[in-house]
Amino acid sequence: MSYENLSGRTAVVTGAASGIGEAVAVRLAAEGARVALLARRADRLRGLAEKIRAGGGEALAVAADVTDDASVEAARDLVHETFGAVDLVVNNAGVMLPNPIAAGRLDEWRRMLDTNVAGVLRVIRAFTADLVAAGAGGRTADLVNVSSIGAHIPFPDYAVYGATKAAVTYLSQSLRTEFGPQDVRVTNIEPGLTETELRTHVDSAELTEQLDGMFDAIGALTATDVADVVAYAAGLPRHVNLRQIIVQPTRQA
């Protein structure tokens, strides 16, 4: 597979401090894209940017919090000053905080809604003009949203997380009606179990044990496996939109 459609692109990857976002950034940079790395942990982003540069790639560390309007706008301005307009946005930052609905964890619900849904929207808002301009200019333009199989498959105690991901999947479908006619592709990716830091934020010992059991029984994708899928979709010729991708470990039903 040739990824010549990635060379020379300018990408923004949210949640690039770890896991899938980090792997996507590394992969896109290896294929010749300039990559802006967004997340809150500046030290992690600086380390990743150095690693990418050491490998001959171009990367910019941008500390940003997707739950904060001003932070996302400042990030966009810094990306523009350094790299100019972007043509590939990977909306990946997310948190998974499961608990029984009866626990009434408003704090977790707010964090998931504000990161996984409103955060995705803030990033779309910041970069829509860039993507539309790239499409109008005859260049390849991509919005890639990282959703989850949880958008379709219900798991007990994951109702709010699943609802945020269902919102991302719906948003991707719906945005194609606005972006497609403007030559901006929208790709929605729904990974299954993937080995990252995501599960380390679960604060219930019982649910952590349950998750660990699933990882042991089923195995997991690596973040690099998911990054390969992102690179494949964004590397396709500009008239081809691989719009919905479900990627799971082989043993996960």
In the complex, the residues that contact ligand NDP under the rule CB under 6 A are 14-21, 39-41, 44, 64-67, 92-96, 115, 119, 146, 148, 191, 193-194, 196-198, 223
Is the distance from CB of 173 to CB of 165 less than 8 angstroms? no
User: Shortest distance, CB of residue 2 to ligand NDP, whole angstroms?
Assistant: 26
CB of 181 to ligand NDP, least distance (A): 27
Provide φ and ψ at 31, rounded to 5°.
-90, 5
Nearest to 11 by CA among 118, 140, 120, 114: 140
Q: Which is nearer to ligand NDP, 135 or 191 (CB)?
A: 191
If 0-12 CB within 10 Å is exposed, 13-18 middle and 19+ buried, where does residue 41 land?
A: middle
Least spacing, CB of residue 191 vs ligand NDP, in Å: 4
Pick between residue 123 and residue 134 the one whose CB is nearest to ligand NDP: 123
Q: Which residues pair with 202 in a beta bridge?
A: none
Q: Is the CB of 5 or the CB of 115 nearer to ligand NDP?
A: 115
Minimum CB separation of residue 196 from ligand NDP in Å reads 3
**Amino acid in position 115:** T
Determine which one of 3, 158, 161, 170 is catalytic. 161
**Helix ranges, the chain (H):** 19-30, 42-54, 69-83, 106-112, 120-136, 159-179, 205-218, 223-235
According to DSSP, residue 118 is labeled I
* Pick 43 or 206: Cβ nearer ligand NDP: 43
- CA distances from residue 187 to 97, 170, 227, 234 in whole angstroms, order as listed: 25, 12, 13, 8
Structural contact between residues 125 and 171, judged by C-beta atoms closer than 8 angstroms: no
Q: How far is the CB of 15 from ligand NDP (least distance, A)?
A: 3
Residues 38/93, Cβ–Cβ less than 8 Å: yes
- Beta-bridge partners for 59: 35
Nearer to ligand NDP, 41 or 238 (CB): 41
Catalytic residue flag (residue 161):
yes
- Residues with active-site annotation: 161
